[in-house]
Each structure stands twice: as C-alpha cells, then as structure tokens.
Amino acid sequence: MPAPALDPSDGPDELGEEHGADMRLVFSNADEETIDRYRDLLPRAAASWAARRPGAPVSRRALGAVAGYKLGEAVCGGDGLVARWTPADVRELLGHWVPTREALPATDSRAVPGALRTWWAFLVERGWLDPRSAPVTDFEQALLDAAPHHASPPAGVACCETDPAARGGTAGVAASVGGGAEPAPPAAAPRRGLGFAAVAAAVRRGRDAPLPASPPTVRGRHGRSLPPAALPTARELADAVAAAPVCAGRPGDRPRPAPDDALERWWSRFTGVRRSAAGRLLGAEPTACGPEQEPAADALIAAVLTALSLGRERGAAASLAPRMAAHLFGSPVAAPPATGAAAVEPSASAAGIIAAAHPLLDELAELGALVRVPDPVSGAQRHAVLTPLGWWLWFALLTCGGVRPITRAELMAEDAEVLIDRAAGGDPFGERELRQWIEARGPAAALPDLVEVYRRSDDCVHRTLVKTVTSSYALQARAGYESLRTDPAFGGRARSWLFDAGFAKHTALHPQDHLDPLLDGLAASLRTGTYGRTEAETEGGGDALCGVSEQRLPAVFDTAAASGHPEAPFVLRWFSRHHPDLRIRAAARSALARHRARARPRR
C-alpha cells in the first residue's frame, strides 16, 4: 500500500523545551517539509540551552534568522550545514539574508550577531561544531567588523518578495562584513557567463596542476544536491579539447592542432553552439544573437548537462526535457524561474525546450562533451554519457551561474553525515557515493563515524539508513555499538542492532529495546512514502514494514503509546488517518488518545 501524501498536520507533536539532546546537523538534501520542521526546532533547542545559562535572554526570532539562513533555500542563503560557519557565512547572514529574507523588528535585527554567538557556543558545548568551521578568532573578527552596521539595509539591495518594512518589520543588519563588499544582485540580474579567458586560463594553468575549484560567491543548497563532479586535471582538459571531434577531425585528417589552436577552434565552435541554442530558444536567427543572449544558451546547455549528470533518461531529448525544465524553472513544467537560471524566459514551453535542446546532443558530442554508448540492456539504442570534458563544462557553467556542485574529491573528504544526508535524499547516486566513501576511507575508520551519526541524529530517516548500512559491515561496526550498550539514550538501539547482527543473545535485550528502531523504521517509511512497497518498488531499500506484519500493528501501537519515542505521535496519527483498514485506524486512534493523555501535564 503506497503511502499517501502527508498532511500539513502530520508533522511531529510539539516537543518540549529540552529538545536538542540529539540533533541532525546536515540539511543540504532535505525536503521542504523537513526544512520547515527544523526551522522551528533548531532555534528552540538553542534558546532552551541559552535560557539555562547566565546572561541576558536571547531573542528566539534572532536565533530563527540564524538557523533559517543556514538551512537556506535552493539558491539563496546557506548550504544546509548548520554546524559549519565561515566568515563568508557571517557576511552573507548579516549583509544579505537578514535585510532581504527576514522581517525582523529593529530590536531583533540588532540581536542577530549576539544570537549567532549563542548558536556558536551552543554547538561548541554540545561538541557539534564542524571542524571545517573558521577558527574562533576569525569568526569573532567577522562579527566585530559587522558591529557598526545595524541601521538599515545596504543601498541597492533588492528585498525578496517584499520589503521587510512594508511587512511590518524594520530592516536591521545593514552592510556586509568589512563594509566594502557589495551586496549580491537580485536573482533576476544577468549571469556572468563562461568566458574564453576563464577556459584559456584553466587549460594553460600548468600541464600537471589540478584545475582550481574555488567558487565565486555561491548561495543555497542546490549545488550540494547535485552529483559530484570528477574534474579533470589541466593536462587532461587540454588533451580532451585537442581530441574533441571539432578539433581532431576524423582519422586520416591533418595532424592535431597545437594546444592554443585547438582551444581557439573549440571556443569558436562553442560560441556558435551557444548562439544557435539561443536562437532556437528565443525564436531568433543565430546571426541575430550576440553575447547578451549567451546566458540564455548557457542556462539551456547547463540544463541538458545537468540531466545527463544525473545518469537517468540518458540521450533522448524528449525524456531529458522534464529534468531540464526542473533545472531551468524549478519544476518539470514551464513556470517562473526558481533555481537561479533566470536567463531563460518563463514563457518558454516544454515543447520549446525540447525543440531547442534536441540538436544540442549532437553539438555537444562534436565538442567532445559527451559520447554515445550502447544501451547496457538492449545494446541497440545509444545513450549520451558525459565525458571528463563534459563534466568540466557542466561544472564551469553552473559555477559561473552561482550554483557550484561539490567535486568528487571534496565529497570523499566530507564528514559521514554529509554522505548520509545525500543517500537519504532518495537518489541512487547518493547510496552509491556512501558505499564509495566507506571503501575510500576504509570500513575500520568510516564505521565508527557512521555509528556516531546514528547515536546523535534525531532524524528517523538518517537513523534507519545508518542502521541498514552498518549492518552490511557488521564486523567493523560491532565495536562502535558495543561501546554504546549502556548509553542511557542509545543503549536500546545498540543492543537491538547487536542482537540482529548475531553478536548478542536474547537474554541481553531489555523488554523495549526493539521498539525504538522499529518506530524509526516505520516513521522513515511513512515520511519517505515507501510504506507498504515491495523491495523491488523501493529499489532494494528493504521491507518498508520493518518486519512488522499488519496483524501485529495494534500491539505495536499499544507499546508506542506508552513510549517516549519522539516519532510515536506522528506514527499513530498517520495510521489513525490514512490506513485503509478500519480496525487498524481505530486501534491507532485509541493509542494516540492514550499517548496524549499521558503527555498532558497534570493540574
């Protein structure tokens, strides 16, 4: 039985002020429902922590602005890494996010720097501050630099949606940290685009040096949700340009041109491709399209390359169109731009996108950005697959447009929770990356980090995923779980895992040890929409019922009603509303009523 869509009221019950003992810290690939939940939970946890310490009270609305920035949006705000802070984050929070995305009264705006210090101290005391964060001296200096600027928004900053003052708020934190940095342009400003000088510099930058990966100012979570780019070295890029069909020609033709000549020829052809694509997209002759139309073509080319990078529906323009439209407009159908590719007119129809993109596959093949390979199943149809030059071009176009994908090298050096967050997003490449990360780091080193994510996270999907993955490396994970057998909060899950893996006897279990992972799994399957699906339907994701037959569900409800599991209210409420069996709905309603009666404070 596929799970129906969640109602807005299907979120968790109100959590107590003590919430925050365990916390998810990575949200780069989270869905909007999860982001909305934690937009409330994160500042509440920090405010509850601060209230028990000496000093002036901290504005919860100011803490909400700090958390809201780091949770971010697709192409605005932070990167979803709420425990990783740099001076650039301070500049972005105070110089752009608060004036343009928050409607705070003046007093709360002035409290944002103090709220940011509180959030930092909260992370430090809990041991959650990301080691990739800036040193505390740099962090404090960034805040000190921002201290004089609390009067009004920077001149020329276009507020998103409406001016905060018009919504009843007063814009507070004003200029960027340091006072000299200009605010970001509005989302509809023209893109900078990919220039010949940038390509030439990359190709000529030493024969063996890796390509630079430093981004311009980039905002939002979108780049961290894309597949990792395996960038070629400068030498590999130069060789790929020289070997592209447009430069190398066919076998038997004249010798390959010198690197500089090959680059000139490749760039000339790429410019022609951009203008042809712009003409098709905008309904104009290619000769009438100049540099001012190239950003529109860059957006279309980036959309095609993005669809190919995802590794699905490869090669046919009609099947690529939904992913291209999603990249261009934020949804599979034509709609106002929402993902930063504002250079393409929102009036462009899906049919127009297909027509404009169809010749691009052949043109990109001529440029050496993709190759045609036989279908692995039928062997007949040929699919388009990105080459190293294609991956580089995709990375360069998106980065120039303000969306920087993570590189493969960066991903393999990331923390365990970043990989769990990507794998939990549902994309097949996410789970594959997690396995590759474990093997690259070595199971002996990687598994303790994964167990720590399981222990610390309060997200049922993350916990269930780690439980499943660590079961595949039982010998290497055993020590981590053994060390947590007696942990007051996690001991039940540790003992349950050890029993399931065959490392503990039944006599070692406490009566309710299996309940927490069971409710984790049920809640995860409900939140991801996989409840009741077969293993084949969930692409090998396992039994969504977590080993519980529907006949046993009423007994599970009775036990859950008496538990303190944070997902128990959500699970009971979901079954009371959505399960097709009247008997199971009634049992869930009865259990939910008992749970609420126990949770209600006595007068």
**Residue 438 scores a pLDDT above 90:** yes
Judge if 158 and 207 occupy the same domain. no
Encode pLDDT of 547-574 as tens digits: 577 888 999 999 999 988 999 999 999 9
Judge if 261 and 396 occupy the same domain. yes
Identify which has the larger pLDDT, 258 or 17: 258
**Residue 253 scores a pLDDT above 60:** no
**Residue 333 scores a pLDDT above 70:** no
Measured CA to CA in angstroms, residue 12 lies from 7, 34, 523, 567, 568 at distances of 12, 11, 10, 7, 9
In sequence order, the 6+-apart residues with CB closer than 8 A to the CB of 302 are 327, 341, 394, 397, 398, 401
Judge if 171 and 228 occupy the same domain. no
Instruction: Return the exposure string of 403-414: e unless at least 16 CB atoms fall within 10 Å of the residue's CB, then b.
Output: bbbbbbeebeeb
Q: Is residue 434 part of a domain?
A: no
Place 417 in a pLDDT band, splitting at 50, 70 and 90.
very high
Identify which has the larger pLDDT, 180 or 384: 384
Mean pLDDT for all residues in the chain: 78
Judge if 151 and 235 occupy the same domain. no
For residue 146, the model assigns a pLDDT of: 72
Q: Which of 155, 186, 217 is the last residue of a domain?
A: 186
Judge if 243 and 175 occupy the same domain. no
Judge if 181 and 219 occupy the same domain. no
Q: Name the residue among 505, 447, 507, 441 with its Cα closest to residue 478.
A: 447
Identify which has the larger pLDDT, 30 or 279: 30
Q: Is residue 471 part of a domain?
A: no
Written as one string, the DSSP assignment of 48-75 is HHHHTSSSSPPPHHHHHHHHHHHH--SS
Judge if 35 and 88 occupy the same domain. yes
Q: Which pairs from 345-349 meet CB under 8 Å and 24+ separation?
A: 345/282, 345/296, 348/281
Q: Which of 381, 407, 433 is the last residue of a domain?
A: 407
CA angle 596, 600, 603 (to 5 degrees): 155
Identify which has the larger pLDDT, 568 or 400: 568
Place 257 in a pLDDT band, splitting at 50, 70 and 90.
low
Calculate helix-pair angle for 460-471, 491-500, nearest 10 degrees: 30
Q: Which of 130, 154, 186 is the last residue of a domain?
A: 186
Q: Is residue 61 part of a domain?
A: yes
Share of the chain above pLDDT 70, in %: 72
In sequence order, the 6+-apart residues with CB closer than 8 A to the CB of 528 are 426, 461
Judge if 299 and 176 occupy the same domain. no
For residue 308, the model assigns a pLDDT of: 87
Q: Name the residue among 386, 387, 467 with its Cα closest to residue 420.
A: 467
Per-residue tokens: 435? 């396995």
Q: Which amino acid is at 569?
A: P
Q: Is residue 216 part of a domain?
A: yes
Judge if 172 and 319 occupy the same domain. no
Q: H or E segment at 480?
A: helix 474-482
User: Across the strands, what pairs with 407?
Assistant: 229
Tell me if residue 436 falls in helix, strand or coil.
helix
Q: H or E segment at 383?
A: strand 382-386
Share of the chain above pLDDT 90, in %: 46
Judge if 52 and 159 occupy the same domain. yes
Mean pLDDT along residues 388-410: 89
Judge if 32 and 117 occupy the same domain. yes
User: Across the strands, what pairs with 374?
Assistant: 382
> What is the domain count for the chain?
3
User: Across the strands, what pairs with 384?
Assistant: 372
Whether 531 and 544 have beta carbons less than 8 Å apart is answered as: yes
Judge if 534 and 392 occupy the same domain. no
Place 344 in a pLDDT band, splitting at 50, 70 and 90.
very low
For residue 324, the model assigns a pLDDT of: 58
Identify which has the larger pLDDT, 379 or 384: 384
Identify which has the larger pLDDT, 43 or 222: 43
Mean pLDDT along residues 529-546: 56
Place 4 in a pLDDT band, splitting at 50, 70 and 90.
low
**Any idea which of 209-218, 461-470, 534-543 has the lowest mean pLDDT?**
534-543
Query: Domain containing 252: what range?
Result: 196-407
Encode pLDDT of 459-492 as tens digits: 999 999 999 999 999 999 999 999 999 999 999 9
Identify which has the larger pLDDT, 237 or 446: 446
**Residue 6 scores a pLDDT above 70:** no
